[in-house]
Amino acid sequence: MVDDPEATQDQKTEITNSNSKTWNREQFAMFFKEAEVFGYEDLMYDAKGDLKREYNVRNDKRYEIDQAFIELALERISSEDLAKRLIENRGFDL
């Protein structure tokens, strides 16, 4: 974004000053192993750094990162992938 010659200063300012438009306050619980929690926290920390460096966004909220993570997972993981991983997590080789 920052190096994009087509991005105008106005667009950069709009991104910097933007807020979440997708949060609807419905919540649910997910359960993680401790190592996965640490991995997710590392990913969030890196994403926050990318937001600051690439887009100058400093007002991000935890729920926005969680929402983006879930959206990307739903876009990229098939039900077959999920089913296979569950069976692998139960100790079976597929």
Asked whether the predicted pLDDT for residue 86 surpasses 60, the reply is yes
Q: pTM for this structure?
A: 0.70
Determine the distance from the C-alpha atom of residue 13 to the mean position of all C-alpha atoms in its chain, rounded to a whole number: 22
Determine the distance from the C-alpha atom of residue 3 to the mean position of all C-alpha atoms in its chain, rounded to a whole number: 22
Query: What is the 3-class SS of 3-62, one letter each residue?
Result: CCCCCCHHHHHHHHCCCCCCCCCCCCCCCCCHHHHHHHHHHHHHHHHHHHHHHCCCCCCH
Over residues 12-71, the pLDDT tens digits come to 888 878 776 666 666 677 788 999 999 999 999 999 999 999 999 999 998 899 999 999
Over residues 19-34, the pLDDT tens digits come to 766 666 666 777 889 9
Determine the distance from the C-alpha atom of residue 23 to the mean position of all C-alpha atoms in its chain, rounded to a whole number: 13
